[in-house]
Chain A
């Protein structure tokens, strides 16, 4: 939901035939705010591996309780920074729903079923506005569209995980993806359980935050006027982060300008669907230019 770190989506083997075409946009870099923790994790894994050697790890059996706890112990450290972020943002979301007049069932059920912070924050606005189910569906798809590309990059990695696969796919979010895509699953730890635990832990943090916020909203004794700005701030930050990492700013500007133009023409209640169609249209028309620019940039500057 938050950590929009960039990754090299197309470096997987399944893309090798046509790779590097759009890489100019993607600077593979570790997450800015988790890189410090990476060292700690590495340290943790060293200790962990030593322990494994000493007790002569049992043969891998995915239904064995030890497999589960081992994977949980390996997965938990990765999720600690996300815990703080999700509890904070989840609580803000819960409080916002509370002060917008919704009982705690709403944020709880929406956190559990939507499980996408950006979609849920937008849903607060959508629920307070007029009834436009088609626009609501379109918004959810557009905001969630990045999951499509997480999915594409995980096609191979999620193979053969059995019943865990649909659960992990359902619980996919920015943060979980960034861990499952980049983390080296330590030797002796079951891959499926490791990824399942990362997903479940992140999921629990978010839902717990939302429920906490929704319940605590009743006991808040300071003015929450202006709290709704948290959504604006969140998207401004994600937009800025994206801007700092992209070499080509045309897509970002297309998004801003096309939607601003549609807002002027169609008004606040109607502009979102024309904006989405306009963005797709303009990006489609610019495809040749943006792809070519990318290839040139790629040839000149290498990959990030």
Chain B
């Protein structure tokens, strides 16, 4: 572990602060009866999709595409996850299926 205990506490603390802020902020800055700024509403419509795209990339940030397994197990497992999800639209099934398939791949095939 790279971090000291204090650094871990600070990291967890700021992440708690960040999330709690997102929960309470609307109630603090938008008192009842005032219209929400247009730009905030625009971000509300477009930001979630973009953030989830960013998080997919974040999950794959340590994958090396030019050495080792060339990201093949990740690509296959993601493909299966997407196919499962488009097919059944059951979140838990897609997540469990993709994860188990990935574990199988890295433990046996690669």
Contact = CB atoms under 8 A, between A and B. Distances in A.
Interface string B66-110: 000000011001100110011001111011101100111111000
B18 A259 contact: no
Interface residues on B, range: 35 or more
16 contacts: A3-B91, A110-B12, A114-B15, A119-B18, A140-B19, A144-B22, A155-B32, A169-B24, A225-B103, A231-B59, A232-B77, A239-B52, A255-B52, A257-B53, A280-B43, A283-B42
B8 A127 contact: yes
Contact of B12 (A123, A148, A225): A123
Nearest to A173: B23
A109 B104 CA distance: 31
Contacts of B55: 118, 122, 143, 235, 238-239
Given A137-B17, A279-B50, A290-B46, A15 B36 contact: yes
Contact of B22 (A85, A147, A159): A147
A225 B94 contact: no
Given A133-B11, A137-B14, A237-B81, A144 B23 contact: yes
A235 to B, nearest CB: 4
B82 A141 contact: no
A74 B77 CA distance: 40
Nearest to B7: A131
